Amino acid sequence: MFDSIILLAGKGERSGLKYNKVFYRLDDKPLFQFSLEKFLEVPLCRKVVLVCREDEISSVKAMVSEIPNLEFAVGGKYRQDSVKAGMEKCSSQVVLIHDGARPFIECAEIEKVYQATLRSKAAVLAARPVDTIAEVRDSYRTLERNNLWRILTPQGVNRNLYLKAVELAEKEAYYGTDDVGLLEKYLKINPEIVPGSEKNIKITTERDLLYLEFLSRRDK
């Protein structure tokens, strides 16, 4: 069994919306509810913790009042703070962390990340980049595409090890944007890569919202 954390506490300023993008309504549901329902479809998912901004938590509770097996936590200033707040509401050995703005996750991908986390203590859904990527500092260097992955979510971690890594990070005032990256940085745990779908995009910009609407119409 595993617990899940879905992060809803971001500001989403690049979306062009005047409100949190995870509340964008598609087919009369808020965006975050699509991934929430997928996690709850997985029999091994014991519960989901929704991490919200303090001023939005009552609104989120009202939106999902009829959905069971939910808990709520107040997010912090940084992603790392929000994940830690959600982690404190979890009790399973394995916890999966997902972005509320990624509505296209599939149950099979969730299950694969869970199984990989059991094996490796950390795992992450990822996809190969399709573009050539260059590192530009004092010189221009093309990176070997076969060694690169675009990091998606969910990311799976061992709860106790994650909290230990966060404790070490806080002592250095380090704030990472990658959950499994903390385990590699502080505990030398190499996360297992789980190949995922290109469709599992994070809705960030106005262009992403247009793509979201296109996919919704196409799949009907």
pLDDT at 219 over 70: no
Residue 54: band (very low, low, confident or very high) from pLDDT cuts 50, 70, 90: very high
Q: Are 72 and 9 in contact (CB under 8 A)?
A: no
Cα gap 163→160, rounded to integer Å: 5
The pLDDT tens digits for 63-88 are: 999 999 899 999 999 999 999 999 99
What residue ranges do the domains of the chain occupy?
2-218
pLDDT at 217 over 80: no
pLDDT at 72: 98
Which residues lie closer than 8 Å to 119 by C-beta, 6 or more apart? 192
pLDDT at 55 over 90: yes
pLDDT at 13 over 80: no
Give 191's DSSP letter. P
Longest dimension (CA), the chain: 56
Q: Which helix (H) or strand (E) holds 150?
A: strand 150-158
Average pLDDT over residues 41-46: 97
pLDDT at 210 over 70: yes
Which has more confidence, 205 or 62?
Answer: 62
pLDDT at 16: 73
Cα gap 212→167, rounded to integer Å: 37
Structural fold of domain 2-218 = Spore Coat Polysaccharide Biosynthesis Protein SpsA; Chain A (3.90.550)
Q: Is the peptide bond before 154 cis (omega within 30 degrees of 0)?
A: yes
Q: Are 151 and 145 in contact (CB under 8 A)?
A: no
pLDDT at 8 over 90: yes
Q: Are 90 and 3 in contact (CB under 8 A)?
A: yes
Residue 213: band (very low, low, confident or very high) from pLDDT cuts 50, 70, 90: confident
The structure tokens 């999902």 sit at 64
Looking at the DSSP assignment, which residues form a beta bridge with residue 52? Answer: 74
Decide the pairing of beta strands 94-99 and 150-158: antiparallel
Residue 220: band (very low, low, confident or very high) from pLDDT cuts 50, 70, 90: low
Q: What is the mean pLDDT of the chain?
A: 93
Instruction: Give, to the nearest 10 degrees, the angle between helix 31-41 and helix 107-120.
Output: 60
Which has more confidence, 167 or 205?
Answer: 167
The amino acid at residue 202 is: K
The pLDDT tens digits for 127-144 are: 999 899 999 988 999 999
Cα gap 149→19, rounded to integer Å: 31
